[in-house]
Amino acid sequence: MTGKKRVLSGMRPTGLLHLGNLHGALANWVEMQDQYDCFYFIADWHALTSDYENTGHISENKRDMILDWLSAGLSPDKCTMFVQSHIKEHAELFLLLSMITPVPWLERNPTYKDQIVQLESKDLSTFGFLGYPVLQAADIIMYKAQGVPVGIDQVPHVEITREIARRFNHFYGNVFPEPEAILTKTFKVLGADRRKMSKSYGNAIFMADSPEEITQKVSGMITDPQRARRADPGDPDVCNVYDFHKMYSPQDLVDETKSQCEAAQIGCVDCKKAMAKHLAAYLEPLREKREYYQNRPELVDELIVAGNEKASRVARQTMAEVRAAMGI
């Protein structure tokens, strides 16, 4: 232990990360690695809870994910990055916790109910999908994490983890601390079509996109819907391109864009080009870092092995305590 508070978080490897993932979670992870003892994991078993039929992309997605993490600034010197399925103790703890978790706790999970409706094309009436909060609890308490960085909508997940840890401690003695939700500041990034940015909507700008891809995607972004012609004054406050300007462009350009748009002194085509340039410049150092690691696959392998080993040491120790507490 480093004396720092330990936090744990994971991501399902579903493909390249986009700006929504970057500003919604990853940027916080990067910030936190300086303040906490951070364990970050690739949740490949969790990827199976809803996508159990098509597993062909998981391996490639894991590679893309670690490259995205490194490009955003996660450093193996500052945090522990590991792969869930390499630490078999997660499966053992999941099994043991599943013995003590009442089914109604899982059935009332809001994400469970919501996803069953949202993803009606998939058969989610599986034991694994119902039980994924138990796996999540195992992931978290395995490392005796004191904190879990989450957005407000994920607080119920941390709550169920706390309940499961409490129940375990009640039956077998005090083994696990109850983790707290660390509410992180998040920016909601909308996609080119103004819906939530998401791979499945096909509206995402990826962290790894080239300047050309960015320019092309930005050119298709929806602007102020009332501004039909170049001569019409626009309203930047209802325009997604302007929201992007506020995130990526220098302040003087943001101010200028607002006044010029409102006075119809700038067209949307030029406005988008200017924003795309700054967005590409913002992502340039990330792309460079990604390329660096892409060209050195052995370095990436090494850091994953080192992260897995460190996680494994903690997991083995925890499971020894768990088995002793349960007398098995």
Q: Which residues bind ligand SF4 (CB under 6 A)?
A: 223-224, 227, 234, 236, 239, 241-242, 257, 261, 266, 268, 271-272
* DSSP code of residue 190: B
Cβ distance to ligand SF4 smaller for residue 102 or 233: 233
Cβ distance to ligand SF4 smaller for residue 181 or 239: 239
3-class DSSP state of 267 = coil
Strands (E), the chain: 6-11, 37-42, 79-83, 147-150, 180-183
Cβ distance to ligand SF4 smaller for residue 168 or 242: 242
User: Burial of 246 by CB count in 10 Å (0-12 exposed, 13-18 middle, 19+ buried)?
Assistant: middle
Cβ distance to ligand SF4 smaller for residue 236 or 307: 236
CA distance 2 to 35: 11
Q: Are 273 and 46 in contact (CB under 8 A)?
A: no
Cα–Cα distances in angstroms (integers) from residue 278 to residues 44, 70, 270, 271, 309, in the given order: 34, 22, 13, 11, 40
Cβ distance to ligand SF4 smaller for residue 71 or 257: 257
